């Protein structure tokens, strides 16, 4: 009986193994040659040397000087006597050039300064939440740059350069927001 069981197990194993085997056709795939195509023929243009230009002989004409047409004389402008008692020096003094700092209009200056201070406060709070010891080299450089932007913005506010302070505060707030993420 034992023998029959062994034979049955062997036959069962062989038949299951035959069923699981896949029939594979062995064919060789023809691989195309991967030679590059020959280069295109070169076209070499042959240029004939240009003939030497013939020397031009200037035509002999009597030289007459060409004068521009005469302009009519300008009427002289005489300054009218002024009735004010301003000294003459103030009229000849050059006007001061435009200011190099941009300032907002008079009514909106306090609102702009408040908005800039709000941005600076938000940037400072965001940077306080960042653990600078865990930052990599690039993160540390951004952290330091944001701190410098905040300091420069405060200096610009003290110097009444509100537009520059606003730009610096915006940059600092953006960098601090990225570092918090």
**Spatial contact of 122 and 171, defined as CB atoms under 8 Å apart:** no
Whether 35 has a pLDDT exceeding 60, the answer reads yes
Instruction: Give the model's pLDDT for residue 104.
Output: 59
Of the spans 30-34, 107-111, 171-175, which averages the highest pLDDT? Answer: 171-175
Banded model confidence at residue 47, pLDDT cuts 50, 70, 90: confident
| Alpha carbons 123 and 180: distance in angstroms, whole number | 10
Instruction: Give the model's pLDDT for residue 141.
Output: 92
| Alpha carbons 142 and 136: distance in angstroms, whole number | 10
pLDDT higher at 82 or 177: 177
Which of helix, strand or coil describes residue 33? coil
Q: Where in the chain are the domains?
A: 109-180
For the stretch 69-106, pLDDT in tens is 677 766 666 656 555 555 545 445 555 544 444 555 66
Q: Where in 45-142 does DSSP place strands (E)? A: none
Using CA of residue 55, residue 59, residue 63, residue 64, what is the dihedral sign? negative
Whether 32 has a pLDDT exceeding 50, the answer reads yes
Average pLDDT, the chain: 78
Q: Please give the average per-residue pLDDT across 158-174, as a whole number.
A: 91
CB within 8 A of 171, min separation 6: which ones?
Answer: 146, 149
Report the percentage of the chain scoring pLDDT > 70: 70
Instruction: Give the model's pLDDT for residue 58.
Output: 60
| Alpha carbons 169 and 85: distance in angstroms, whole number | 50
């Amino acid at each position: 009986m034992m023998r029959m069981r062994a034979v049955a197990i062997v036959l069962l194993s062989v038949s299951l193994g035959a069923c699981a085997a896949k029939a594979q056709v062995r064919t060789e795939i023809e691989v195309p040659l991967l030679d590059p195509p020959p280069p295109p023929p070169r076209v070499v243009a042959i240029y004939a040397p240009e003939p030497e230009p013939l020397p031009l002989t200037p035509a002999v004409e009597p030289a007459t000087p060409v004068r521009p047409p005469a302009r009519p004389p300008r009427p002289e402008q005489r300054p009218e006597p002024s009735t004010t008692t301003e000294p003459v020096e103030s009229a000849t003094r050059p006007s001061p050039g435009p200011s190099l700092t941009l300032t907002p209009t008079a009514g909106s200056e306090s609102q702009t300064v408040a908005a800039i201070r709000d941005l600076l406060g938000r940037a400072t709070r965001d940077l306080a939440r960042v653990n600078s010891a865990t930052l990599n080299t690039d993160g540390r450089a951004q952290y330091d740059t944001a701190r410098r932007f905040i300091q420069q913005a405060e200096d610009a506010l003290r110097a009444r350069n509100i537009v520059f302070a606003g730009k610096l505060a915006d940059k600092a707030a953006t960098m601090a927001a990225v570092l918090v993420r």
